[in-house]
Amino acid sequence: MYRSETDQAAAPATAMPTLFEAIVRTRCVEATYNGGRVVLAPHVAFTRHGEVYVGATTIERDGQPPREEKVGLFKLVGLAGFALTERSFAPSKAFDPRDERFAAETLLAVETR
């Protein structure tokens, strides 16, 4: 079964409030990405070519921590089962809100100090 363009368009619309809440409240999200379960700390929501992306640090992938801390970019429609958790996070030093990958198209970002 293939996802229709309508299905792909609906996915970000239903996940956007959750994504925004996670960024504002600095709460992790869980999702399935590339067949694996991930826990992400979303730092920024942005658009690129009409698609919504998430800039996030990976907290866990299939129950394991990452080898290094970095801000990865995830297409929101590629994060299946996107759900807010009660696990909080501190904004990462790896996050730079001026990063050219997303700065011009930022919708919302965590506050950095």
Mean residue pLDDT of the chain comes to 89
- Does residue 63 have a pLDDT over 60? yes
**CA-CA distance, 84 to 112, in Å (whole number)?**
21
- Does residue 67 have a pLDDT over 70? yes
* 103-111 mean pLDDT: 93
**CA-CA distance, 36 to 75, in Å (whole number)?**
15
- Does residue 1 have a pLDDT over 50? no
State the pLDDT at residue 13: 67
Residues whose CB falls within 8 Å of the CB of residue 52, separated by 6 or more in sequence, listed in order? 12, 16, 19, 45, 46, 75, 76, 77, 107
State the pLDDT at residue 103: 87
Tell whether pTM > 0.85. Answer: yes
Confidence grade of residue 14 (pLDDT, cut at 50, 70, 90) = confident
Confidence grade of residue 112 (pLDDT, cut at 50, 70, 90) = confident
Q: Where are the domains of the chain?
A: 5-109
Which of 46, 32, 28, 26 shows the shortest CA–CA distance to 91?
26
Confidence grade of residue 64 (pLDDT, cut at 50, 70, 90) = very high
